[in-house]
Chain A
């Protein structure tokens, strides 16, 4: 089972990882795994478990181009991020790192700490109270990138860019 972490709207990249905690500023770059939401939600990094899901409000990941924001989330093995709208650079960075992002508003459907099961293959969430929520399927070319594990493995495997014929 995965746990749900609920976040509000307009979560910006400074809230995900403040610039002061960039790998550039760190003695040991692996320490980045300790810093997702360090100031916005200090209990996150120490309690998050592999496969947990972030369920957020509108405009998740707005702000900077810093890929170390989604990278920090990948380092703690986030299973997916679900929000009604993603800021475009964040969405692209997450895609490039192979983090599944689904466009849906589930902040009212799920509660913080709820146990759920994510069926990535079918794009479905099964909740601990017996509900099944269908997530909108992302475009095929994005699914191909996730399946490859990110844009670099995708490019190395196919020798082309996402969406390129």
Chain B
């Protein structure tokens, strides 16, 4: 009896020893020499693997950061200045100040504003619809409403509004990772500078048609009249292909252009209600 116990103990010990030796050899042979700072940087990154930095994931970004000479052009939009500051401390580099951004939907083609001219009956996927035809309205630049951006958002910062048939970006949750910008086949979503209290002024239209057809397709389209360009005191507005564009880094949020726009294509959001001017333009707070 005792010999059985002894034999078992010896056998198991030998097996364990053998396994340990094999593991050791394998570990030595396939050892990956890695900069320990990669792990440290990876620790401070958000770990969402959203790809907002332009790399495949947080770890890939950590590797890039460790290798990089300076932080110029590298930014984690999710963690922002805080995360980049921590990473800079670990790597002993100079943090580069990057303005925080926010995603903005540049289309206001609700069924009310933009008449539906056909019914889309294919797979609920913007890319499928986009490659098929101009869309359910006469505007073939606007939102298709199939929700590719909502599906792409990893931070639950978007949802489809069933009434407006447009996606809605929740300002507080948006981290400006840019996934929705990439997902949109019509390039409607833009990353803009995040202002105090998430205040935004932007042209809520991407229609490049001439004034007539654009207006006919959608009552709140940018018709390229150029009034906003003239009124802007900061040269923040430019006009290209019948479409105005407000540079969010030049804009000082004076709101002059908003009242000037004849179609109401310029939206002001999260501003206090205007009191002095009774003739307020029709602003739909969809965003």
Q: Do chains A and B interact in one complex? A: no
